[in-house]
Chain A
Amino acid sequence: MEAVPPRARVYVACVVLGALCCLLPLPNPRASWWAVLLLAVLYGVCERVGARWRFAGTFYPVLLAGAFLLSPPAAALVALPGALLSPVEQRPRLLRRLWRSAQLVVAVWAAARVHRALGGRDAVDAADFPYALAPAGAAVLTFCLVLTVLDGGILAFAEKVPARRAWRGLFVRSLPPGVVHGLAGLMMAVLWRSRYGPVAALLVLLPMCVSWWVFAQYHRERTAHQATIRALVQAVDIKDGYTRGHSERVGQASMMIARELGMDEGRVEVLRFAGILHDVGKLGVPTRLLRKDGPLTAEERRVIELHPEYGHEMVRGISFLGEARAAVLHHHERLDGSGYPYGLAGAQIPESARVVAVADAFDAMTSTRAYRRARPVAVALEELERCAGAQFDPVMVRALVGALRRYGWHPAVTADGVPSPCPAPPHSPPSSRAGGHPNSVGRRAP
């Protein structure tokens, strides 16, 4: 998003214009201004606090409660201050803020309109219960639909994602949170209108806030966990001087092969960890041996060849790694059975290990080592194809060739140990909603 294409700007301008039209028939003076004010402040505070906890998500219950309680323009007004003032991290900030506010205003307005048209207002006033769910459900559907359509549009215009891919899955993923937030919003609206008043309505937000906070904690813990695994690998890289960044790149190549083979996202992630951790057993090999210049004796070679078993010993207690543990143990097996540690052959070798073996060899050839210069990617691939069948699984080699042809080879960490300047932030539409684009992480166009 360094330079926003002009057509994206035009698109944003159109949506902003639409939002202004939604707000223009200003709420009639008798409308409860204090309710608008209270909800707007509430929404603004929620957005702020959410940003403080660095959790990119939006707090819809307040907006939806507004849509269930107020007239459409007033409900749309609730979203405005919070969205305009919410902190934005990526540039261009002003454009993103405008976009986000306009998008929310239009969505809330449409939801309120639908809710009112279906007679939801009276149902909320009378707490008429099974019936009140119908207009609220329709309003939530409208809300999610409008957000999806607008988000898909900006993806198509700004990121040049093909329109169909941009919309795929976006709506389905926005529904579950929408439903939960919608129910909370409905309860807020019903309690607000009841004899217990806004005090009771505010209580609804507390469980939602706690849930939100726990979710943020979960993400933080997960990030810390991944950093720890990286550090484990860095320890190996420090020990084994010339392979800096090797583990990370093998992880990336393994991930590309797994994607090309059409594995599901969970397995792709596990294979990335398999690639990253494949040499972790080198921690157990004396540093003197790893750094030795010149040829190794047979005895020394045997010690180094213990590293897959050391690595397996180390990671076998980490349950989430799953089949990655087998990959750590067997990544030096060869298809003809002449590898180590167990001399497995053909299909006896776990699939994950066959993936990592190809990725490992590929990176070993294309990066500079102390004793030789890096070979070009094309030469390395030729070499891999030559050894396919005897040493490597031809399926994996073909997958790597296919993936490289399509996306090119852009390792995030180069052999010089300098991370490339842009560590691939997930493309996200200018709105800061969680998720970004489904296929964007780690798949950068050439």
Chain B
Amino acid sequence: MTSSPRPKRPKHPACPPPPLLLVLVHTAAALLAAAALLATLRTGLDERGTALAFGLLVTVGELARWTGAQVREAAPLAAAGALSYALLGADAGEPSRHGAAQVIAVVVGAALLGAVPHIARGQRGLLDHLARRVLTVGFAAVCFQPLHLQGTFSRWGGPAQALLLLALLALTALCDAVLAAALAHSRTRWPFGPLLRDELRALLGIGSAVCATGAVMALAVAVAGLWALPVFCLPLLLTQLSFRRYAAVRATYRQTIASLARATEIAGYTPAGHARRVAALGQAVGRDLGLSEPELTVLEYAALMHDIGQLSLVDPVPAGATAGLPAQEQRRIALLGGAVVRQTGVNAQVAMVVERQADPWPEQPVAARVVRAVNAYEEKARDAGPGGPLKALEELRLATAEEYAPEVVEALARVLSRDCLTLPAAG
């Protein structure tokens, strides 16, 4: 899988200590795992066959974890297997007796085992992944297993039990989304609200598939015994494959757009790397403004292609700097660019953003405001020497009456000061 050219936050030399929230989540997960392991060691494993089968499933799922492409649920098979073990109430008609502690212990062991090759390859983000897995599975198991062992559900009818599992899984998925958003927030310091919204939206996709598979596997094992596991992994495996192909074609698409954007650079209309820099900085600003994932994609594509209209000019603009041109000329180039982008069959919103990048900001969509401000900043700060970024920002602030949206300029200033993209002060 190819790596996606998302902007990675540059490592700042004076990296702040990990935020409190992160430490808290990791400690909670570690404590829960340790307690469960101790309890299981003291009492020994109940129903070893079932434990082994589910452990194997989780291990295999973790081994097949996606790497590279950015996805919400990297190991859907492992997640579904762990959840179904947490909600398992019977095995081929016989009520099961493994408790919540054993569920957590088995899942932790299997997940650690499955993570070994990923650790060996030095992947990042594994700790967060494991903490999330332990906490969500722990939540589901602690909700279900004690009540099940007391026999609370035995008087309920079958359909009611199925619905109960579903409700529990929905609750678990919600918790997982909040946890994931909180972890991402404390790692990246992007605003929490939009992150949570993106996580919740992703629940409808692979999240619902994972939950439904978890519930169905628990029920199917209760009816048909462990044979249900291999039979049921297959549809989810298919889903996983489809997701992988989808991610791959998206990555390819992004490459194509980035190459298309380089056409203006190769043709000598714009300086090398300009489109890429505008896209990276624009995305950071968009995140700060709280745009959602699809909106950020539109913003990224539009930023990459914002200068494409210059290809239609017979003679290049000096240094490709459109921000200095008269407004009429800027708008003409933007319209030409919109026409080219419209032909590319990219999302029509991208063409709209490109078309309206030179309009006065009150009439623009948010993405176009970002493209306009970031493009102007990039052009002004590019060759202006050490004081350039600050001076460019100042010029942008002075032009907020008509050209650049004030909230975008402020977001840009925040991003620049946070990520230290400004050049270090001389002396």
Q: Which residue of B lies closest to A218 (CB)?
A: B246
Q: Which of B43-51, B100-108, B221-229, B371-379 contacts A (4 or more CB under 8 A)?
A: B221-229
Given A203-B212, A225-B249: 8 more A-B contacts, CB < 8 Å = A127-B223, A199-B163, A200-B159, A206-B212, A207-B239, A228-B257, A231-B260, A234-B343
B263 at the interface (CB under 8 A from A): yes
The answer to whether A214 and B242 have CB atoms under 8 Å apart is: yes
A413 at the interface (CB under 8 A from B): no
Q: CB-CB < 8 A to A297: which residues of B?
A: none
In Å, the complex CA distance between A305 and B263 comes to 17
One of A127, A225, A314, A320 near B263 (C-beta < 8 A): A314
In Å, the complex CA distance between A228 and B223 comes to 50
Q: CB-CB < 8 A to A210: which residues of B?
A: 205-206, 208-209, 239
Q: Which residue of B lies closest to A231 (CB)?
A: B344
With contacts A190-B220, A206-B208, A229-B256 taken as known, whether A224 is within 8 angstroms of B228 at the C-beta atoms is: no
The answer to whether A218 and B242 have CB atoms under 8 Å apart is: yes
A403 at the interface (CB under 8 A from B): no
- Min Cβ gap A414→B in Å is 19
Q: Which residue of B lies closest to A319 (CB)?
A: B2
Q: Which of B11-19, B56-64, B230-238, B325-333 contacts A (4 or more CB under 8 A)?
A: B230-238
One of A129, A187, A217 near B216 (C-beta < 8 A): A187
With contacts A222-B249, A231-B340, A231-B344 taken as known, whether A211 is within 8 angstroms of B255 at the C-beta atoms is: no
Within 95-113 of B, Cβ neighbours of A (below 8 Å) are at none
Q: What would be 13 A-B contacts, judged by CB atoms less than 8 Å apart? A: A190-B223, A196-B161, A200-B162, A207-B236, A210-B209, A221-B250, A224-B346, A231-B343, A235-B311, A310-B266, A314-B262, A319-B255, A320-B255
Cβ-closest 10 pairs across A and B: A227-B345, A195-B158, A206-B212, A231-B344, A129-B227, A210-B209, A211-B239, A214-B242, A196-B158, A194-B223
A287 at the interface (CB under 8 A from B): yes
Query: Footprint of A on B, CB under 8 Å?
Result: 2, 92, 157-159, 161-163, 166, 205-206, 208-209, 212-213, 215-216, 219-220, 222-225, 227-228, 231-232, 234-236, 238-239, 242-243, 245-246, 249-250, 252-253, 255-260, 262-263, 266-268, 311-312, 314, 340, 343-347
Q: CB-CB < 8 A to A184: which residues of B?
A: 235
The answer to whether B225 and A129 have CB atoms under 8 Å apart is: yes
The answer to whether B259 and A314 have CB atoms under 8 Å apart is: yes
The answer to whether A317 and B216 have CB atoms under 8 Å apart is: no
The answer to whether B227 and A130 have CB atoms under 8 Å apart is: yes
In Å, the complex CA distance between A186 and B235 comes to 12
In Å, the complex CA distance between A12 and B238 comes to 34
Q: CB-CB < 8 A to B163: which residues of A?
A: 199
One of B216, B227, B263 near A283 (C-beta < 8 A): B263
- Min Cβ gap A184→B in Å is 5
With contacts A206-B212, A218-B246 taken as known, whether A317 is within 8 angstroms of B255 at the C-beta atoms is: yes
Q: CB-CB < 8 A to B345: which residues of A?
A: 223-224, 227-228, 230-231
Q: CB-CB < 8 A to B311: which residues of A?
A: 235, 239, 283
Within 180-222 of A, Cβ neighbours of B (below 8 Å) are at 180, 183-184, 186-187, 190-191, 194-197, 199-200, 203-204, 206-208, 210-211, 213-215, 217-218, 221-222
Q: Which residue of A lies closest to B246 (CB)?
A: A218
One of B92, B231, B266, B343 near A183 (C-beta < 8 A): B231
The answer to whether B256 and A127 have CB atoms under 8 Å apart is: no
Count, A-B residue pairs, CB within 8 A: 179
A52 at the interface (CB under 8 A from B): no
In Å, the complex CA distance between A200 and B246 comes to 29
Q: CB-CB < 8 A to B227: which residues of A?
A: 129-130
In Å, the complex CA distance between A206 and B165 comes to 15
A contact patch SS: helix
The answer to whether B216 and A203 have CB atoms under 8 Å apart is: yes
The answer to whether B224 and A127 have CB atoms under 8 Å apart is: yes
- Min Cβ gap A286→B in Å is 8
Q: CB-CB < 8 A to A317: which residues of B?
A: 255, 258-259, 262
A232 at the interface (CB under 8 A from B): yes
The answer to whether A284 and B224 have CB atoms under 8 Å apart is: no
The answer to whether A235 and B340 have CB atoms under 8 Å apart is: yes
- Min Cβ gap B242→A in Å is 4
In Å, the complex CA distance between A129 and B166 comes to 25
With contacts A180-B235, A231-B344, A235-B311 taken as known, whether A204 is within 8 angstroms of B249 at the C-beta atoms is: no
The answer to whether A232 and B208 have CB atoms under 8 Å apart is: no
In Å, the complex CA distance between A179 and B238 comes to 12
A318 at the interface (CB under 8 A from B): yes
A313 at the interface (CB under 8 A from B): yes
In Å, the complex CA distance between A194 and B157 comes to 11
The answer to whether B231 and A180 have CB atoms under 8 Å apart is: no
- Min Cβ gap A300→B in Å is 16
- Min Cβ gap B250→A in Å is 6
In Å, the complex CA distance between A208 and B163 comes to 19
In Å, the complex CA distance between A288 and B268 comes to 14
With contacts A197-B158, A231-B340 taken as known, whether A190 is within 8 angstroms of B235 at the C-beta atoms is: no
In Å, the complex CA distance between A317 and B304 comes to 14
The answer to whether B220 and A318 have CB atoms under 8 Å apart is: no
Q: Which residue of A lies closest to B163 (CB)?
A: A199
- Min Cβ gap A43→B in Å is 17
In Å, the complex CA distance between A204 and B228 comes to 12
In Å, the complex CA distance between A33 and B224 comes to 26
A77-97 to B contact mask, C-beta < 8 Å, 1/0: 000000000000000000000
The answer to whether B223 and A284 have CB atoms under 8 Å apart is: no
- Min Cβ gap A65→B in Å is 13
Q: CB-CB < 8 A to A187: which residues of B?
A: 216, 220, 228, 231-232
With contacts A224-B345, A228-B260, A239-B311 taken as known, whether A129 is within 8 angstroms of B219 at the C-beta atoms is: no
In Å, the complex CA distance between A221 and B344 comes to 13
Q: CB-CB < 8 A to A158: which residues of B?
A: none
- Min Cβ gap B85→A in Å is 17
The answer to whether A225 and B252 have CB atoms under 8 Å apart is: yes
In Å, the complex CA distance between A211 and B208 comes to 11
- Min Cβ gap A42→B in Å is 15
The answer to whether B267 and A284 have CB atoms under 8 Å apart is: yes
- Min Cβ gap A202→B in Å is 9
- Min Cβ gap A248→B in Å is 14
Q: Which residue of B lies closest to A283 (CB)?
A: B263
Q: Which residue of B lies closest to A234 (CB)?
A: B343
- Min Cβ gap B72→A in Å is 12
In Å, the complex CA distance between A232 and B255 comes to 13
In Å, the complex CA distance between A235 and B340 comes to 7
A261 at the interface (CB under 8 A from B): no
In Å, the complex CA distance between A320 and B252 comes to 7
In Å, the complex CA distance between A230 and B223 comes to 53
